[in-house]
Amino acid sequence: MDYRDIIYETDGRVAFITLNRPEKLNALSNNLRGEVMDAMKEAEHDTEIGVIVLKGAGRAFSAGYDLSPARAAGTGDLVNPRSQLPETLTTHPGPQSWARHVVMTNWTIWELAKPVVAQVHGHCLAGGTELATICDFRIVADDAQIGYPPVRAMTTMDMMWSPWHLPPAKAREFAYVGDSFSGTEMARLGWANYSVPTDQLDEFTDQFARRMSHIDSDMLMYSKRAVNRQYESMGIRHGLASGTEIQALSALRPAADDWARHVAEDGLKGALEWRDGPFRDFRGAYDSAPKDRAIAGTQSD
């Protein structure tokens, strides 16, 4: 299969899937996500493969979902021809269905028969955190930046994973404020298995994956299934589904219109500067970002 937005490679018992939109910091377009899920199934079907590594080309793992109009330009065999979304056996009709679609797509990796290791460097933001979190393991660069800035002005997290992977106080901080946490901190909190210097990330992840690949694939499948079913008995499927409904409600709050207005008037980059300006990070670090803007929904700015 020829892919446009990812690279698929195999080496012995390990398959490597590389997000390959480096000029866009691997923003997750519909086509890219469809290709990722197809490559996951290709690796699952290959009897020679025991472990899958998911990583990003360029300066980042992924800066999150592609917010540009091009995101909807998902065409080809790997997106549903009706919805232009990665296939989930429904076209997700009706308003505010994005988060539901995201979670249903990510369950593909959850149910995959083979373990997936996310190798995270640079920015891992918003949807990038959701993609990394649904993997079985996460190995991160010490200086990686993991966060969910859309909660500052857009909506709640599409996939409310933080209560499942972080201590309660930090889960709230992550989900409420949108600040980034370093790879070192995320390993300390338990989200990542290991945090290593950036120049050692490739080698460490490769060794981790190959060590696990010495176990036969059926054993790995049953171990993964056994752990997953424990989380399901604790309610993870219900919890994440409920989170998608809250996300839809958050998109309908009065202040949500401010985000759409800034996108329409100032373009996506300008809207991101408005969102992050008071926080002075991400696009808010630019001199042109409004550092003292009014709270969304309170007045025109």
Q: How confident is the model at residue 76 (pLDDT cuts 50, 70, 90)?
A: low
Give mean pLDDT, residues 34-46.
98
Taking alpha carbons only, the member of 110, 158, 151 closest to residue 130 is: 158
Q: Do 117 and 263 have their domain in common?
A: no
Q: Do 171 and 275 have their domain in common?
A: no
Question: Which residues have CB under 8 Å from 300's CB, separation 6+?
Answer: 294
pLDDT score at 155 = 97
Q: Do 56 and 173 have their domain in common?
A: yes
Please, are residues 42 and 50 in contact by the beta-carbon 8 Å criterion? Answer: no
- Dihedral of alpha carbons 86, 175, 276, 63, sign: negative
Residue 210 lies in a domain: no
Give the total number of structural domains in the chain: 2
Residue 114 lies in a domain: yes
Distance CA 246, CA 254 (A): 15
Q: How confident is the model at residue 299 (pLDDT cuts 50, 70, 90)?
A: low
Residue 214 lies in a domain: no
pLDDT score at 248 = 97
* Residue 201, beta-bridge partner list: none
DSSP secondary structure string, 29-52? Answer: -HHHHHHHHHHHHHHHH-TT--EE
pLDDT score at 74 = 58
pLDDT in tens, 188-230: 999 999 999 999 999 999 999 999 999 999 999 999 999 999 9
Residue 269 lies in a domain: yes
Residue 215 lies in a domain: no
Give mean pLDDT, residues 169-174.
98
pLDDT in tens, 85-100: 998 989 998 889 999 9
Please, are residues 10 and 16 in contact by the beta-carbon 8 Å criterion? Answer: yes
CATH code for position 81: 3.90.226.10
147 membership: H or E segment, kind and range: strand 145-147
Tell me which amino acid residue 300 is. Answer: S
DSSP 59: T
Q: What does the block give as tokens for 260? A: 């759409």
Mean pLDDT of the chain: 95
Give mean pLDDT, residues 231-255.
97
pLDDT score at 75 = 62
Parallel, antiparallel or unpaired: strands 123-125 and 194-196: unpaired
Give mean pLDDT, residues 148-157.
97
Q: What is the pTM of this model?
A: 0.95
Distance CA 212, CA 223 (A): 12
Is the pLDDT assigned to residue 164 strictly greater than 80? yes
Q: Do 39 and 174 have their domain in common?
A: yes
Name the one residue in this structure whose structure tokens are 């330009």.
73
Domain ranges, residue 281: 253-301
Q: Do 29 and 92 have their domain in common?
A: yes
Give mean pLDDT, residues 12-16.
98
Q: Do 58 and 166 have their domain in common?
A: yes
Q: Do 264 and 189 have their domain in common?
A: no
